[in-house]
């Protein structure tokens, strides 16, 4: 006992030191985690971006570009889903109207996010006005988020019922959270330069 205790203690201390070093080391994963920590949905932020750690490395521009690309792709696939839903047969007029409005809003959102991704790339070009381009990106992503939220809200009442309503709401909430995180990373990036 007298002989094993110090060994155990030594290993515990080493384990704790290694743990602390690992959580603060300059790795892409820790870079993503600390950038995500100031967003509204940090866990979702880290989950959706850590899979791209090898692309992001510790580059703030690449981080924001990936976050925006994830948001665009999620919004695009939700758009496809919603467009299929409103073509379903047997919808009530109110259901059709809610789905149709949502499809239009989400389509606007996709356009704004796509335009933002292009604009964001200009922030990195030498000689281009960083502040001008980043403020355009902030404005458009913020409008895209409003479109997504409006679309989700359209399904909180009783205009649409059952499974379609629940799955659209769930998708819209997720998409809006991913976009909200992208927006806060963009604001963070814009404020630093
Ligand atoms: C988004 O989709 C495009 C086109 O399919 C793809 O090239 C890109 O890698 C995707 N972005 C992310 C972050 O997965």
In angstroms, rounded to a whole number, what is the distance separating the alpha carbons of residues 28 and 12? 27
Q: Is the per-residue pLDDT at 20 higher than 80?
A: no
Q: How many residues does the chain have?
A: 193
**Residue 3: pLDDT band with limits 50, 70, 90:** low
Q: Is residue 18 part of a domain?
A: no
CA distances from 113 to 47, 93, 95, 132, 169 (A): 21, 30, 27, 17, 20
The pLDDT of 90-115, averaged and rounded, is 91
From 48, 49, 69, the mutation candidate for ligand 1 (largest count of ligand atoms within 8 A of CB) is 69
Q: Is residue 175 part of a domain?
A: yes
**Residue 4: pLDDT band with limits 50, 70, 90:** low
| Cβ-proximal residues to 129 (8 Å cutoff; 6+ apart), any chain | none
Q: Is residue 75 part of a domain?
A: yes
**For the stretch 51-71, what's the b/e string if a residue is b when 16 or more beta carbons lie within 10 angstroms of its beta carbon?**
ebbeebeeeeeebbbbbbbbb
The per-residue pLDDT for range 76-94, each reduced to its tens digit, is 999 999 988 888 888 888 8
**How far does the centroid of ligand 1 lie from the alpha carbon of residue 73, in Å?**
6
In angstroms, rounded to a whole number, what is the distance separating the alpha carbons of residues 151 and 172? 7
The per-residue pLDDT for range 157-191, each reduced to its tens digit, is 766 677 778 888 889 999 999 999 999 999 999 99
The per-residue pLDDT for range 35-85, each reduced to its tens digit, is 999 999 999 999 999 999 999 999 999 999 999 999 999 999 999 999 888
Q: Is residue 41 part of a domain?
A: yes
56 lines ligand 1 (CB under 6 A): no
What's the total number of domains in the chain?
A: 1
CA distances from 126 to 123, 157, 160 (A): 8, 49, 50
* pTM (2 d.p.): 0.86
From 56, 73, 178, the mutation candidate for ligand 1 (largest count of ligand atoms within 8 A of CB) is 73
Q: Is residue 15 part of a domain?
A: no
**How far does the centroid of ligand 1 lie from the alpha carbon of residue 24, in Å?**
30
**Contact criterion met (CB below 8 Å) for 74 and 175:** yes
**For residue 73, which atom of ligand 1 is closest to its CA?**
1
pLDDT of residue 12: 77
Give the residue numbers spanning the domain of 159: 28-192
| CATH number of the domain encompassing residue 60 | 1.20.140.40
The per-residue pLDDT for range 132-162, each reduced to its tens digit, is 999 999 999 999 999 999 888 877 776 667 7
Say if residue 74 is exposed, middle or buried (CB neighbours under 10 Å; 0-12, 13-18, 19+): buried
Q: Is residue 17 part of a domain?
A: no
Q: Is residue 177 part of a domain?
A: yes
pLDDT of residue 5: 64
Q: Is residue 94 part of a domain?
A: yes
**How far does the centroid of ligand 1 lie from the alpha carbon of residue 127, in Å?**
28
């Amino acid at each position: 006992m007298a002989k094993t205790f110090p060994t155990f203690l030594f290993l515990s201390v080493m384990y704790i030191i290694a743990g602390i070093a690992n959580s603060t080391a300059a790795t892409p994963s820790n870079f993503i985690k600390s950038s995500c920590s100031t967003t509204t949905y940090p866990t979702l932020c880290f989950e959706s971006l850590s899979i791209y750690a090898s692309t992001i490395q510790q580059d703030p521009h690449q981080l924001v570009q990936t976050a925006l690309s994830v948001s665009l792709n999620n919004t695009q696939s939700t758009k496809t889903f919603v467009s299929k839903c409103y073509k379903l047969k047997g919808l009530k007029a109110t259901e059709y109207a809610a789905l149709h409005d949502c499809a239009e809003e989400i389509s606007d959102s996709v356009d704004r996010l796509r335009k933002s991704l292009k604009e964001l790339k200009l922030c990195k070009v030498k000689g281009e006005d960083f502040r001008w381009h980043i403020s355009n990106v902030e404005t458009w992503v913020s409008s895209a988020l409003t479109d997504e939220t409006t679309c989700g809200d359209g399904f909180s009442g009783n205009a649409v019922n059952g499974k379609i309503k629940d799955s659209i709401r769930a998708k819209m909430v997720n998409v809006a959270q991913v976009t909200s995180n992208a927006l806060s990373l963009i604001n963070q990036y814009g404020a630093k330069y």
